[in-house]
Chains A and B, each alone.
Chain A
Amino acid sequence: MARLVIDPVTRIEGHLRIEAQLDGGKVSDAWSSGTMFRGMEIILEGRDPREAWIWAQRICGVCTVVHALASVRAVENALAIPIPENARIVRDLMAGAQMVQDHVIHFYHLHALDWVDVASALKADPAKTSAIAQSISDYDRSSATYFRGIQQRVKAVVDSGQLSLFASGYWGHPAYLLPPEVNLLAVAHYLEALEWQKDFIRIHALLGGKNPHPQSFLVGGMTTSLDPNEPFAVINPIVIDKLQDLVKSAKKFVDQIYIPDVLAIAPYYKDWFSRGEGLGNFLSYGDYASDNLEDPKTFLFPRGVVLNRDLSTVHAVEPAGISEFVTHSWYEYSGGDENGKHPSVGETKPKYTGPKPPYDFLEVDRKYSWLKAPRYQGKAMEVGPLARVVVGYASGQPDIRAAVDGVLTKLNATPTVLYSTLGRIAARAIEAQIMAHRLQGWLDQLSSNLDHGNVTVFNPIRWDPATWPKSARGFGWHEAPRGSLGHWVEIEGKSIKNYQAVVPTTWNAGPRDTQGNRGAYEAALAGTPVADPARPLEILRTVHSFDPCLACAVHVIDAQGRKYTLPMVR
C-alpha cells in the first residue's frame, strides 16, 4: 500500500493533482483534485451582461471560444434574442474549428508522449517508417529522406544533452510498446501537427481577429460583417477563399495524418481497450443544429443521456436534473454541505480547509479539491467526445454511426471497446473527422449566403439595455471539445446579478459526492496497473484520455447564496 501523488499533472490545461492508492501494482483508489481557483463568477457580478463573454472566454485559453459561445447563448436566452443564420454559421465554424484543432493538439502534443517513446525513434530505420507511412496514408510527406531528416533533428537535440521539453519523459518505460519506426512516424507528425495547428487556427484570426481569445462575438450575433463587394468587410469573397484553403487543410490533416496515426498506434495497445472504463454513464447536451434548432435529436451531436453503457436507450436531458455537490470541495453551502444544488440555485463561499502549503498529501476523506462534484439525477456522468459519440451512436446519428462503424471495422472490434482509455482517443479522432468535414458544409452555406446578398449577422433588437426586462434568467449550452458546457446567467437592471458555469472538466475531474460516488477520473483510474510508481505513465494515459482542462473546471457560483427558482427551460 503506497500513496502516489502526481502533481503537477502536465500536458493538460491547468493545475490537476492526482493522488492514488497503490495496491499490488494497481491503483486501488484515486482522488482527483483541482488546485487552482480564480473566482470568475464572483468577478462577473454587477458587470454588463453584453460583455460577459469577453470575461468568460478567459476561463480557458486552450478551449478558447467555447466559453464565449456559451456565455452569449446564455444572455441571448435570457433576453430572448434570436440570432441570424449567418451568425450561427460563423459561430459553428469557429467552434467547430476549435474542436478540430483542439483534438489534434490534444492527441499529438498533450497525449502522444504517453504512447510514443521519442528516444526509441532514434533507433528507427527511416526507410521502414516511410513504408509504414505510405501503407497507411496518402499523405505526401512520407519519404525516407523526410523521416531521416526528422530523426537527425531529434538526434541533434539528444546529442546536445539539452533535451528541452523531452528531458523529463519516461523514455524506455516498459509500457511503451510501439516499434521504433512507428515512434519515428509519430514524432514526425508531432512536429507536423505543431506547424499545422498554428496555420489552421488562422480561421479564428480571420473570423475573430486573433487566437487565443478571438474577439468577434456579440450578444445578438457576431461582428463579422458580410459584404460581397466591400474589401473591408470581415467576410468577403477573398476571406471565403482563405477559409476554404484552411478547411481543406483540416480535412487533409485529419484524414491523412490524424486518423491513420490513431489506427496505426491503437493495435499495439489493445490492453487499453479494456482499461480506464470509468463510469459508464454518458451525458451530452447536444450541439450544432444545422436544420432544426428546436429538436436536439437532429443535432450533429444529439442531446441525451446513456446510462450503464446501455446503448438501447437514450434518455432525454432534464436540465433540472443537474446539481453540484461540495461535500469534498473547498466550499461551503448555507444549507449544509451534504445537499446538492442546481446551478441556478447554487451558492459558493470558498472555504479552504485543506493542509497549509507546502503539503505532501491532501485530506482525501474530507474536502480535497477546488472542483465541485456535478451530478445528473444523482449520478456521476462522463462528458466529452466519448459521451457524444456514445449518445450519438445510440441515437442513430448517421454521421457518427458511419464513422464509428468504419473505425471499429478497421480495428476489428465491437462498440464495447469504446468504454476505455483508447476508446476516448478513438472517439476524439472520429469526432474530429466528422467535424472537419462538417466545416466545409457550413463554409459553403456561408459563401452561398454572401453571394445571394444575405448579409445579416447581428440582431439589434436588444442591444440597448433600455429594451431589457427588469430581470431575466437564461442558460447557454455548448458541446465544447472536452464535453458538455453550460453557463447560467441572471440579469437584473442592466447588470449581471448571478453568473455560473458548469464545465466539462468539472463533470469529469470532480471529486466525490455526498454518497462517496467517485468522479469520472477517479472511477476510470481504479484498477489501472502501475509498473513503476516513480514513473506513473499508466495513470497519465487514462487521465490524459479525458483531455483535462482544469482552468475551466474550477469555478464558483453566486457569492451571496441567494435562492432562485429554476430557469425556464425549453
Chain B
Amino acid sequence: MLAVETEQASLAGALGRRGITRRQLVKFCSLMLTTLALPDKYLAATVAAVSKAKKQVLVWMQFQDCAGCSESMLRSSHPEIADIVLDLFSWEYHELIMAGSGAAANAVLDRVVTQEKGNYIAVVEGGIPTADGGVYCTIGGRSALDIAKTVCGNAAATIAVGACAADGGFMRAHPNPTGAVGLEEAVPGIRLINMNGCAHNPVNTAAVLVHYLTFRDLPAVDQHNRPLFAYGRVIHDQCERRAHYDAGRFVTEWGDEGHRKGYCLYKMGCKGPAATFNCPTAQWNDHTSWPIRAGHGCIACASPRFWDHMSPFYDRLPSVPGFGVEVTAGELGLGLVGAVVAGVTVHGLITMIRPAPPYPETKV
C-alpha cells in the first residue's frame, strides 16, 4: 500500500515538475501503443514507465552520418522533441544539438559510459568505417569503431537508427571505399535493434524507446533485427494506390493523366512491392504525407542494403550483374532469345542442305 502511494506521489511529482499534463501524457502513450500494435491493457504501465522521476539516460552517437536521422528526430511530433529532450529522457550526448563542444562533450560521454554503465540507451546514427584503421571517421582523435565499441558495448540497449547505422548505408554501396558497415557487424553481440530507413521514422523510434521504458526490453524483431510492428508488412499491401495496381491502372509517364489521378507507380520503378515498412500508415512529419503520395516511387529505404539492392530506382528490377545500368534484364533476355533464334535458323538451314544419312545407324 505504501509502495503504491509512493509511486503515485512520485508520478504526480514528476508530472508536476514537467511541462506536460497527464492528459497529454496519456494521449502520447496511447499513440505509442497503437504504433507498437499493443493492446490498451499496457497503457497504465506505459504511463507509469515514462513518468518515472529519474529519467532514462540516453546518448545519441553520430558516426559516418548526414545528420538526417537527427533532423528526423527533431521533426518528431508525438512526442514533441522538446518533450523528449526535457521530459522523457535525460538526453545527455548528441553532437548536433548538445551545448558543450570538445573536451566538455567528451567528458559527458565518459561520465555516462562509466557511471551509467549498463543502464543507458545508446542511439547510433551513421555507418562505421572499418578500412585502414578507421581513419575515415574520427571524433576527438578516436576512431568511430573504437567509440562505438565503448559506448554500445556498455549500453543497456542500442538502437541503430537509419540505414547507415543498420547496415552501412550508402557509404557501403559498391565499391564501399571506406569499408563501412552497420553496427551489427561493427560491434557484434550487443543488445541491438535496427530502425532502418533513410531517414528513420521518428514515430517508430519513439515507440521503441517507450517500449523499452515500459517493458525494459526491445520489441520483437524480424530476421533483419528490425521491429516487427514497423517492418512486418509489405508497403505495396498497405499502399493507398494499391487498388489502382490491382485494377491495372498505372502511371506510364511522369506528369501524365494517371500521375495526376494518383495511379499506381509500379511501372515507374516503385519498390513498394519489395519493401516492408509502415511508411504508408505511420507517414512522416506529423502524419502529413509519404513519398508515394508525393508522386514518386518508393525506393525501399527501410530495406537492408537498399542502396545496392533496390537501385536502379527507376527500373522495377535490379541491374544484371556485370551489365550495370546499360542493359536491363528484359533487354538482355530478349537479346539472348534473338541470338538463339538466329543460331537455330542457320543450323536448320545447314542441316536441310546436307544429304540425309543412311538408315539405321545406331552404333555408338
- A/B touching: CB–CB < 8 A: yes
Interface residues, chain A, with chain B CB atoms under 8 Å away: 5-15, 17, 35-40, 42-43, 46-48, 50-51, 54-55, 58-62, 64, 105, 109-110, 113, 118, 149, 152-153, 156-157, 159-160, 162-170, 191, 194-195, 197-199, 201-202, 204-218, 220-221, 223-227, 230-234, 330, 350, 352, 354-360, 370, 455-458, 460, 463, 493-495, 534-536, 540, 551, 556, 559
Tell me which residues across on chain A come within 8 A of B170, comparing CB atoms: 38, 40, 43, 55, 58
CB-CB under 8 A from B140, the residues of chain A are 7-8
Does B205 count as interface, using CB distance less than 8 angstroms?
no
Stretch at the interface among B129-137, B208-216, B229-237, B333-341: B129-137
- In chain B, what residue has the closest Cβ to A13? B67
Interchain nearest-CB distance for B286 vs A (Å): 6
Which B residues, 84 to 107, have Cβ-Cβ distances below 8 Å to chain A?
A: 85-86, 89-107
Pull 24 A–B residue pairs with CB atoms less than 8 Å apart, ordered by A. Answer: A7-B139, A12-B96, A35-B138, A36-B136, A38-B171, A50-B314, A51-B314, A55-B170, A62-B66, A149-B19, A153-B18, A156-B18, A165-B85, A194-B82, A198-B80, A201-B285, A206-B294, A208-B294, A210-B290, A357-B142, A358-B141, A358-B142, A495-B326, A551-B66
Chain A residues, CB < 8 A from B260: 225-227, 230, 232-233, 455
Give the chain B neighbours of A535 by CB distance below 8 A.
104
A37 near B80 with CB under 8 A, answer no
The answer to whether B76 has its CB under 8 Å from any CB of chain A is yes
Known A37-B178, A43-B173; contact A48-B311, beta-carbon cutoff 8 A: yes
Interface core residue of B53, B134, B178, B295 (most chain A CB under 10 Å):
B295
Evaluate whether A495 and B254 lie within 8 angstroms (CB atoms) in the complex, with A164-B90, A168-B108, A209-B292 already known: no
A39 to B291, CA, bound (A): 26
With contact pairs A35-B137, A157-B86, A209-B291 given, residues A62 and B68 touching in the complex (Cβ less than 8 Å): yes
Report B217 CB to chain A, min CB distance, Å.
23
In contact, B295 and A10 (Cβ under 8 angstroms):
no
Q: A15-B139, A60-B66, A211-B75 are in contact. Are A164 and B86 (CB under 8 A)?
A: yes
Whether A10 and B98, one on each chain, are in contact in the complex, defined by CB atoms closer than 8 angstroms, is yes
Write out the residue numbers on chain A whose beta carbons fall within 8 Å of the beta carbon of B292.
209
CA of A493 to CA of B319, assembled, Å: 15
Q: Is the CB of B316 closer than 8 A to any CB of chain A?
A: no
**Cβ 8 A contact of A58, one of B63, B66, B107:** B66
**Chain B residues with CB under 8 A of A197:** 74-75
- Asked whether A38 and B312 contact (CB < 8 A) given A194-B80, A358-B141, A456-B255, the answer is no
Known: A10-B95, A206-B289. 9 other contacts (CB 8 A): A10-B99, A36-B136, A55-B170, A58-B68, A198-B75, A205-B289, A214-B294, A224-B295, A330-B135
A209 and B312: CB pair below 8 A?
Answer: no
Task: Please indicate the chain A residues that have their CB under 8 angstroms from the CB of B96 in the complex.
Answer: 10-13, 62, 110
How near does chain B come to A329, taking the closest CB pair, in angstroms? 13
Question: Are B67 and A215 in touch, CB under 8 angstroms?
Answer: no
- The answer to whether A205 and B18 touch (CB under 8 A), given A11-B96, A37-B137, A224-B295, is no
Q: Are the C-beta atoms of B284 and A357 separated by less than 8 Å?
A: no
Closest B residue, CB atoms, query A45: B175
Q: Which 8 A-B pairs have the closest CB atoms?
A: A61-B68, A232-B262, A168-B100, A169-B99, A209-B294, A223-B295, A209-B291, A210-B284
Within 8 A of A (CB), among B44-85: 53-55, 57, 62-72, 74-77, 80-82, 85
**Contact between B71 and A162 (Cβ–Cβ < 8 Å)?**
no
Residues A54 and B291 in contact, CB atoms below 8 Å apart: no
> Which of B18, B75, B85 interacts with A201 by CB under 8 Å?
B75
Give complex CA distance A170, B102 in Å.
Answer: 12
Is B299 on the interface with A (CB-CB < 8 A)?
yes
Residue of A8, A164, A198 with most partner-chain B CB within 10 A: A164
Instruction: Please determine whether A211 and B285 come into contact, CB atoms closer than 8 angstroms.
Output: yes
Given A8-B105, A61-B67, A551-B66, the answer on whether A43 and B171 have CB atoms closer than 8 Å is yes
For A356, the chain B residues whose CB sits under 8 A away are: 133, 135
Q: Chain B's nearest CB lies how many Å from the CB of A293? A: 20
Interface size on B, as a range, is 35 or more
Interface string of B273-315 (1 = CB under 8 A from A): 0000000000011101111111110010000000100011110
Q: Given A46, A118, A149, A540, which contacts B325 in the complex, CB threshold below 8 Å? A: A46
B354 at the interface (CB under 8 A from A): no
Taking a contact as CB atoms under 8 Å apart, the answer to whether B326 and A109 are in contact is no
* Contact pick for A195, options B62, B80, B290, CB 8 Å: B80
Q: Which residues of A contact B94 (CB under 8 A)?
A: 165
Given known A-B contacts A60-B67, A206-B288, A212-B68, A218 and B254 have beta carbons under 8 A apart = yes
Are B286 and A198 in contact, CB atoms less than 8 angstroms apart? yes
B178: chain A residues at CB < 8 Å are 37-39
Among B86, B99, B176, B285, the residue within 8 A (CB) of A168 is B99
Bound CA–CA A540/B326 (angstroms)? 49
Residues of chain A with a CB closer than 8 A to B198's CB: 58, 213
Choose among A62, A157, A234, A456 the residue that contacts B293 (Cβ–Cβ < 8 A).
A234
**Which A residue's beta carbon lies closest to that of B324?**
A46
Bound complex: CA A195 to CA B71 (Å):
13
The reply to whether A35 and B284 contact each other, CB–CB distance below 8 Å, is no
Q: Which B residues lie within 8 Å of A536 (CB)?
A: 101-102
Query: In the complex, are the beta carbons of B177 and A358 less than 8 A apart?
Result: no
Q: Could you tell me if B286 and A37 are in contact, using CB atoms closer than 8 angstroms? A: no
Does B185 reach chain A (CB closer than 8 Å)? no
Q: Which of A8, A223, A350 contacts B296 (CB 8 A)?
A: A223
Chain A hits for B132, CB < 8 A:
352
List B residues 127-161 near A (Cβ within 8 Å): 127, 129, 132-143, 146
Of the candidates B70, B133, B295, which one forms a contact with A234 in the assembled complex, judged by CB atoms under 8 Å apart?
B295
Interface residues in B166-207 by Cβ distance below 8 A to A read 169-171, 173-178, 180, 198-199
Q: A residues within 8 A CB of B224?
A: none
Assess the A205–B101 pair: CB atoms within 8 A. Answer: no
Contacts of B62 in A (CB 8 A): 15
| B17 contacts A by Cβ under 8 Å | yes
Tell me whether B177 and A223 are in contact (CB under 8 A).
Answer: no
Given A38-B180, A210-B289, the answer on whether A221 and B68 have CB atoms closer than 8 Å is: no
Residue numbers in A under 8 Å from B86 (CB-CB): 153, 157, 164
Complex contact B97–A170 (CB within 8 A): no
Considering the complex, give the chain B residue whose CB is closest to the CB of A6: B102
Contact for A210 among B18, B101, B291, CB less than 8 A? B291
Known A-B contacts A64-B71, A357-B143; A48 and B295 likewise in contact (beta carbons under 8 Å) = no
Asked if B102 and A209 make an inter-chain contact with CB atoms under 8 angstroms apart, the answer reads no
Interface centre among A194, A206, A207 (most CB of B within 10 A): A194
Known A-B contacts A165-B98, A223-B296; the reply to A61 vs B71 at CB < 8 A is yes
B-chain residues with CB within 8 Å of residue A7 when the two chains form the complex: 102, 139-141
**Complex Cα–Cα for A46 and B312 (A):** 11
Q: Which residues of A contact B92 (CB under 8 A)?
A: 162, 164-165, 167
Does B199 lie within 8 Å of A61, measured CB to CB? yes
A493 x B72 contact (CB < 8 A):
no
Would you give the shortest CB distance from A391 to chain B, in whole angstroms? 28
Q: Is the CB of A358 within 8 A of B296?
A: no
